[in-house]
Chain A
Amino acid sequence: MDSTIFLFLLQDGIINGAVYALVAIATVLVFAVTRVILVPQGEFVAFTALTIAALENGKMPSTPWLLLALGVLAAASELVRHFRELNLRRVAWIVLFDLALPVALLLLTRTLAPMKLGQLTNILLAIALITPMGPMIYRIAFEPIAHSSVLVLLMAAFGVHFSLTGLGLLFFGPEGSGTAPLSQASFSLGDLVVTGQSVAVLIVTAVLLVLFALFFGRTLLGKALRACSSNRIGARLVGIPTSAAGQIAFALAAGLGAISGVLVGPLMTVFYDSGFLIGLKAFVAAILGGLVSYPLTVLAALGVGFAEALFSFWASNFKEVLVFTLIIPVLAWRSVYAPHAEETE
């Protein structure tokens, strides 16, 4: 391997790693606040890319219908579960968020899609369509079992992943698609050709990571979320509504997933089920970061991206095998040096 190839692999790895970092940060955030290991995180990524691809072709994407379906489900499950404690405000909120918002977005998409308004509109619309899915999924699947063990939540997350993948096939079909690059520019650094797309990925990721740090370090809401993550009961006692915290965490996760989808769309052909592997690799990074530390997670995500690039150069067939085997020694190491108490049920 000469230095050109190495630099190329490094660039490739860093770009993939940057995307994994965003997804991994979302995984860590959701786990910290709700203890849910969000297996379906990758679905947000894939669905966003597919939505943008449809919009670029001037076609009406199926995403608003998926959003509406989730909204109806969320409204129904909430109405059934909290039938006795419903009041006007709550019903109004349900109608507004679960039904009116998806319908409005549906009409908006219908109007905008044939007009081909350009990349920025497509991206914003896709993010707006995907982000509300997060809190909806939280309310449908996880809120009723919010106090269960991590294992029960993990199994539920797998259930959600299965359902979402099936819905993805139903709504988006089996064909894969890619999206237009964010920037056509490219320049060379010595032997290395750097594309505008890679620079865009790095800039977006870096900006988001800084925003994230500011949000958790400086704002009251960010601090409240951190409080939920370190001690749920304590957070409740000081008046932080943990359910709302869960929904916010899921909204942020879906939003971060959507942005990752925007970044990943031009890099690869995305299928309805591509999210799983992206999510899992991010997840490897999240675990390397111990599911708690954001900076460690970002480093780990870059590491995973680079390892993947190297493995695909040396043994491309065994890329996935090696990436996932990588996790086991890390888990063993963490079990010895950061064991957590036995969870009691």
Chain B
Amino acid sequence: MTVSRAMIPGVCALAILILPFTGLLPEYWITLFNYIGISSLVAIGLVLLTGVGGMTSFGQAAFVGFGAYTSAVLTLNFGLSPWLTLPASLVVTMVVAGLIGAITVRLSGHYLPLGTIAWGIAFFYLFGNIDWLGAHDGLSGIPPLRIGTHALTNPRDYFVVVWVAVVLAVIATQNLLGGRVGRAIRALRRSTRAGEAFGVNTAAAKLMVFVYAAMLAGLAGWLYAHFQRSVSPGPFGIGTGTEYLLMAVLGGAGRVYGAILGAAGITFLRDELQNFLPWLIGNTGNYEAIAFGAVLVLILQTASNGLWPILFGPPPAPTPPKPRDDKRSPERALPAPGTALLQVQQARKAFGGLVAVNDVDFEVQSGRIVGLIGPNGAGKSTTFNLITGVLPLSAGQIRFEGHALRAQTPQRAAALGLGRTFQHVEIVADMSVIENVALGAHLLGAAGPLRAIFGLDRSEEALLFADARRQLERVGLADVAFRPAGTLALGQLRLVEVARALCLNPVLLLLDEPAAGLRVGEKKALARLLREVRSEGISVLLVEHDMDFVMSLADTLVVLDFGTKIAEGVPASIRQDPVVLEAYLGGVS
């Protein structure tokens, strides 16, 4: 398996260099393959943007346009060599995508695709109305690529250029997705909350994906301009943009190789329709659009996950790099046991007229387990969200290690060492268990997208995965580490969340109903784990409904009811507290 996968790039390289010159393929097919390769680049970007990052863009064709026009203008008007305009095309696309993306990635829900439609159309008309871009006629006479004095005008020569670019793009994209930033991107679509709770800057990650996808499109535009040797606004409009999206969806959004399959499928289909339909209908026109639309609707109705998963099954389990020795990430310096770690002082949260948390005071000392209990709707989860920066405080303050937390965000909470789990599990279902846990170690790594693309993040990745594996062993899930997380039972997923929170190397663990859905044996194991964690000096704040579990575990309990603290103390005294009994059972007087 690993041998055959390692051979793929070599085989591809050989095929690219030899195939066009064997004479096996007529020139017509070579040309078609060139267009497939160029479209594949755009579709690979869309796979990353849409399938992985969850941002649907109808406007990628505009970025192809930026790449193509940049090179056309620089070669025609300034006489630059096409090789020099490649970086220029990429930089122009990067800058434009950065500007557009800065707004676009902040659009929520379906506003985002609508936004891409809007600027996709606007750029099409812009290209068509600027005189120095040749307006609607475009620019022609673009010089071909040259190696020495040899001009790459023959489609067979160009085949090599296009497909080398595709293979490089595939490798770069796979590397990017496999790395630390890649995990963050993959978390975006399923659960931004989980990503943010472990320090992922969502907007920055989204923008990075957006710019990366746009730059692939810009590269495609550069290839297109020097293959076609002319550019006009037509192929950069919203129709082509939708076609690129169709390629990504047809192949299987989320699968890099699927993009090439989709690009091939759509390009062949269009080509066949252009040959076949005039014969069927009798006159010429843009009739393939009819079949095109029908195919799109049919795919969505019957195979909305695309062809690649149907043909080749689910994605293979990741092969994380192994650390060379048992190096560990540096441990966090934990405060001395018994010092005040987290102080919630007069914390208040009002939603309109409803006061969900009403001037609550309590303290978590380091090396202690504190239970936060109360009937449903008591404000426990809201308190959690205030501490972790998901919600802003209305009044009061929360101090951590003596400092007041101002403008707390989930990312800052993660950086301070607050590792949390969620009441409703927030797991990236289509990612393996160990990668989900490794997401918890996001802030322990530093490798950015460039290091990932060039494969320079391997030793750091090895450390992060070693951490993830160790935490999985602690919660007893090492044997399912490489299963897709979505196949686990709810109880197991809660333990995965605990492992992920431990991976952050936390000072304070915030666990929101970790025992709900666990079987008795699993609860005992979890209790044992939490005591072990406490003995290491890590503190735990625990929201829990299972009274046996929390009473046996917690050093102190804080009881909330209707947003107000009604009791605080050791479990034995809380058990006897008449106010608490009344809150839970209704008047026992």
A and B: partners? yes
- The proximity string for A residues 324-345 relative to B, scoring 1 for CB distances below 8 Å and 0 otherwise, is 1101110110111001111100
B450 within 8 A of A: no
A7 within 8 A of B: no
Given contacts A318-B129, A325-B119, contact A159 B108 (CB under 8 A): no
What's the Cα separation between A322 and B119 when bound, in Å? 10
A144 within 8 A of B: yes
Residue pair A162, B285 in contact (C-beta under 8 Å): no
A163 within 8 A of B: yes
Q: Which of B176-203 contact A (CB under 8 A)?
A: 192
Residue pair B126, A321 in contact (C-beta under 8 Å): yes
B134 to chain A, nearest CB (A): 14
Residue pair B297, A151 in contact (C-beta under 8 Å): no
Given contacts A150-B109, A151-B56, A321-B122, contact A163 B289 (CB under 8 A): yes
A37 within 8 A of B: yes
Q: Which of A144, A148, A158, A341 has the most CB of B within 10 A?
A: A158
Residue pair B109, A339 in contact (C-beta under 8 Å): yes
What's the Cα separation between A162 and B273 when bound, in Å? 14
B46 to chain A, nearest CB (A): 12
Measured CB to CB, the nearest residue on chain B to A280 is: B121
Contacts of B304 in A (CB 8 A): 145, 148, 152
Contacts of A162 in B (CB 8 A): 239, 242, 289-290, 292-293, 296
Contacts of B118 in A (CB 8 A): 284, 324-325, 327-328, 331
Residue pair B110, A170 in contact (C-beta under 8 Å): no
Residue pair A159, B285 in contact (C-beta under 8 Å): no
B245 within 8 A of A: yes
Residue pair B108, A169 in contact (C-beta under 8 Å): no
Measured CB to CB, the nearest residue on chain A to B55 is: A151
Chain A: interface residue total (CB-CB under 8 A):
48
Residue pair A334, B111 in contact (C-beta under 8 Å): yes
A295 within 8 A of B: no
A interface, by DSSP: helix, strand, loop or mixed?
A: helix
Measured CB to CB, the nearest residue on chain A to B115 is: A331
B301 within 8 A of A: yes
Contacts of B296 in A (CB 8 A): 155-156, 158-159, 162
- The proximity string for B residues 74-117 relative to A, scoring 1 for CB distances below 8 Å and 0 otherwise, is 00000000000000000000000000000110111111011101
Contacting A148 at CB < 8 Å: which of B108, B242, B300? B300
Measured CB to CB, the nearest residue on chain B to A344 is: B190
What's the Cα separation between A160 and B125 when bound, in Å? 23
Given contacts A141-B297, A169-B287, contact A154 B113 (CB under 8 A): yes
Q: Which of A114-171 contact B (CB under 8 A)?
A: 140-141, 144-145, 148, 150-152, 154-156, 158-167, 169-170
Q: Which of A159-207 contact B (CB under 8 A)?
A: 159-167, 169-170, 174
What's the Cα separation between A165 and B285 when bound, in Å? 12
B576 within 8 A of A: no
Residue pair A340, B108 in contact (C-beta under 8 Å): yes
A215 to chain B, nearest CB (A): 26
B243 to chain A, nearest CB (A): 9
A164 to chain B, nearest CB (A): 7
A307 to chain B, nearest CB (A): 14
Q: Which of B219-258 contact A (CB under 8 A)?
A: 239, 242, 245-246, 249
B294 within 8 A of A: yes
Contacts of B291 in A (CB 8 A): 163, 166
B288 within 8 A of A: yes
Measured CB to CB, the nearest residue on chain A to B241 is: A158
B282 to chain A, nearest CB (A): 10
Contacts of A161 in B (CB 8 A): 293
B286 within 8 A of A: yes
What's the Cα separation between A329 and B107 when bound, in Å? 10
Contacts of A150 in B (CB 8 A): 109-110
B489 within 8 A of A: no
B333 within 8 A of A: no
- The proximity string for B residues 26-39 relative to A, scoring 1 for CB distances below 8 Å and 0 otherwise, is 00000000000000
Contacts of B281 in A (CB 8 A): 170
Residue pair B293, A331 in contact (C-beta under 8 Å): no
Contacts of B301 in A (CB 8 A): 144-145, 156
Contacts of A339 in B (CB 8 A): 108-109
Residue pair A332, B103 in contact (C-beta under 8 Å): yes
A111 within 8 A of B: no
A78 within 8 A of B: no
A22 within 8 A of B: no
Measured CB to CB, the nearest residue on chain A to B123 is: A321
Contacts of B122 in A (CB 8 A): 320-322, 324-325
Residue pair B297, A166 in contact (C-beta under 8 Å): no
Contacting B129 at CB < 8 Å: which of A148, A158, A163, A321? A321
Q: Which of A156, A160, A170, A328 has the most CB of B within 10 A?
A: A328
A296 to chain B, nearest CB (A): 16
Contacting B111 at CB < 8 Å: which of A164, A166, A317, A331? A331
Q: Which of B332-355 contact A (CB under 8 A)?
A: none
Given contacts A161-B293, A170-B287, contact A328 B300 (CB under 8 A): no
Measured CB to CB, the nearest residue on chain B to A338 is: B108
A54 within 8 A of B: no
A225 within 8 A of B: no
A251 to chain B, nearest CB (A): 20
Contacts of B123 in A (CB 8 A): 321
Given contacts A318-B129, A320-B122, A325-B118, contact A151 B113 (CB under 8 A): yes
Q: Which residues of A contact B (CB under 8 A)?
A: 37, 140-141, 144-145, 148, 150-152, 154-156, 158-167, 169-170, 174, 280, 284, 287, 317-318, 320-322, 324-325, 327-329, 331-332, 334-336, 339-343
Q: Could you give 29 example pairs across A and B, Cβ below 8 Å?
A: A141-B297, A144-B301, A145-B300, A145-B304, A150-B110, A151-B110, A154-B56, A154-B110, A154-B113, A155-B296, A155-B300, A158-B296, A159-B294, A160-B293, A161-B293, A162-B239, A162-B289, A162-B296, A163-B293, A164-B293, A165-B293, A166-B289, A166-B290, A287-B114, A321-B122, A321-B126, A324-B122, A327-B115, A343-B109
Q: Which residues of B contact A (CB under 8 A)?
A: 56, 58, 103-104, 106-111, 113-115, 117-119, 121-123, 125-126, 129, 192, 239, 242, 245-246, 249, 281, 285-297, 300-301, 304
- Besides the known contacts A160-B293, A320-B121, 15 further A-B residue pairs in the complex with CB atoms under 8 A apart: A144-B301, A151-B110, A155-B249, A158-B242, A158-B293, A160-B297, A162-B290, A162-B293, A166-B287, A287-B111, A321-B123, A322-B122, A328-B118, A335-B108, A342-B192
